[in-house]
């Protein structure tokens, strides 16, 4: 999906609560959470800018009267806020994030990739058909909780389902911490149904499998289907033409849509806290097992097994909890191992490069 970014050009205006016009920064998502991190002097000396896209050659950033590419080097991702150091852009300060979505990179080294920062609402999209999969929804919810962003489950294609309420009930049963919205993604329904989250200055993103209707939803929210445009060609620092796309877009309604390719094929990474939040009933049960390290297998006095025997806990849900936990343990362990390997490698490099007494020849 390639989107128009003309909303960021001067002239695009949005109004906030009470009809007040948003400042240029507010229109980019600036709010008290970030403002409180800096003092007034810093605001002038190092103006805040938001990362619209990350390219190999640098970060595309925008602020009040600023729209430029700064060199790569800062560990920032789409949606991040930086305090731009004009003399040395590479030394710009990264502001504390309100939320952060990261993932384990595919491939053997399982490196952690930052996907997107400062998303206020994550729309987890699935359809009322064979795409609907409670285990996958749980995985996405755990990821949203871990990222500290607000998840909303959006069920599309209600018009194609015989009984949408089956899917709605199943989605509601997954967590009472995520709202469930069901709709036909085409037409005017999404603008109405999602308006509570798509507010001026707020950042939202869609997550879900291919074909569930993410682009259709985005277009419906934009109020037209002109969102897909040609990639932008611009000159890089060396005057070469490069094709780029911005991944944070301001919609006519004034909210920001973060749309980055990285939001696909997400694996769980260090999501222990997110899993605990999602399965807090099981985790609470587990604290009443007789043994603190109970594996809930054959141990005597296992409260989790007892709950399943007494029909208070769905065995399938228990199985999904164990599977997510195992996946998270595996991924997190491989990260620890990776860190150890990195340390060992660093030491080896130091040992090799340390000045030594030269061997006599």
Ligand X SMILES: Nc1nc2c(ncn2[C@@H]2O[C@H](COP(=O)(O)OP(=O)(O)OP(=O)(O)O)[C@@H](O)[C@H]2O)c(=O)[nH]1
Q: Are 61 and 74 in contact (CB under 8 A)?
A: no
Residue 211 makes contact with ligand X by CB under 6 A? yes
Please, which of residues 290-349 interact with Zn ion by CB under 5 A? 294, 296, 302, 304
Among Zn ion, ligand X, none, what binds residue 338 when CB lies within 5 to 8 Å by partner kind? none
Q: Which does 211 bind (CB under 5 to 8 A by kind): Zn ion, ligand X, none?
A: ligand X
Contact between 186 and ligand X by CB under 6 A: the answer reads yes
Q: Can you tell me which of 49, 142, 212, 304 binds ligand X, judged by CB under 6 A? A: 212
Contacts of 39 (CB under 8 A, 6+ apart): none
Minimum distance from CB of 212 to ligand X (Å)? Answer: 4
Question: In the complex with ligand X, which residue's Cβ is closer, 210 or 353?
Answer: 210
DSSP string, 117-143: E--SEEEEEEESSTT--HHHHHHHHHH
How many other C-beta atoms are found inside a 10 Å radius of the C-beta of residue 257?
A: 25
**Cβ partners under 8 Å of residue 265, min gap 6:** 103, 106
Distances (CA, A) of 147 to 11, 99, 141, 168, 354: 33, 5, 10, 24, 41
Contact 271, 143 (CB under 8 A): yes
214 is in an annotated binding site: yes
Closest CA to 81 of 125, 31, 44, 39: 31
Which of ligand X, Zn ion, none does residue 296 bind to, with CB < 5 to 8 Å depending on kind?
Zn ion
| Least Å from the CB of residue 190 to ligand X | 9
Considering the rule CB under 6 A, would residue 131 count as an interface residue with ligand X? no
When asked if residue 156 is in the footprint of ligand X (CB under 6 A), the reply is yes
Query: Which of 78/155 has CB closer to ligand X?
Result: 155
Binding site for ligand X (CB under 6 A): 156-157, 159-160, 184-186, 208, 210-216
Binding site for Zn ion (CB under 5 A): 289, 294, 296, 302, 304
Binding residues for Zn(2+): 289, 294, 296, 302
């Amino acid at each position: 999906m390639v989107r128009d970014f003309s909303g960021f050009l001067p002239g695009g205006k949005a109004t906030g609560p009470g009809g007040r016009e948003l400042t240029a920064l507010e229109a980019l998502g600036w709010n008290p959470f970030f403002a409180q991190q800096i003092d007034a002097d810093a605001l002038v000396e190092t103006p805040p800018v938001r990362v619209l896209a990350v390219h190999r050659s640098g970060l595309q950033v925008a602020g009040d009267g600023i729209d430029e590419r700064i060199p790569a080097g800062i560990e920032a991702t789409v949606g991040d806020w930086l305090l731009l150091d004009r003399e040395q852009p590479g030394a710009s300060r990264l502001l504390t994030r309100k939320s952060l979505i990261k993932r384990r990179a595919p491939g053997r080294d399982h490196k952690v990739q930052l996907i997107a920062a400062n998303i206020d609402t994550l729309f987890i999209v699935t359809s009322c058909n064979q795409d609907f999969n409670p285990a996958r929804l749980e995985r996405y919810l755990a990821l949203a909780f871990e990222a500290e962003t607000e998840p909303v489950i959006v069920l599309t294609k209600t018009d194609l389902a015989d009984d949408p309420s089956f899917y709605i009930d199943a989605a509601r049963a997954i967590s009472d911490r995520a709202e469930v919205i069901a709709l036909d993604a085409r037409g005017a329904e999404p603008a109405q149904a999602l308006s509570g989250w798509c507010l001026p200055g707020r950042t939202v993103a869609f997550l879900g499998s291919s074909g569930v209707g993410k682009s259709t939803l985005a277009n419906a929210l934009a109020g037209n289907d002109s969102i897909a445009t040609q990639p932008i060609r611009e000159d890089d620092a060396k005057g070469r033409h490069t094709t780029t796309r911005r991944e944070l877009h301001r919609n006519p309604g004034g909210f920001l849509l973060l749309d980055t390719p990285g939001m696909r094929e997400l694996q769980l990474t260090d999501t222990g806290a997110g899993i605990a939040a999602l399965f807090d009933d099981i985790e609470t049960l587990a604290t009443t097992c007789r043994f603190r390290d109970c594996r809930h297998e054959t141990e005597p006095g296992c409260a989790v097994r007892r709950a399943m025997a007494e029909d208070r806990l769905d065995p399938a849900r228990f199985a999904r909890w164990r599977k997510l936990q195992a996946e998270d343990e595996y991924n997190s362990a491989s990260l620890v191992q990776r860190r150890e390997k990195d340390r060992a490698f660093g030491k080896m490099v130091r040992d090799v490069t340390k000045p030594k007494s030269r061997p006599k020849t």
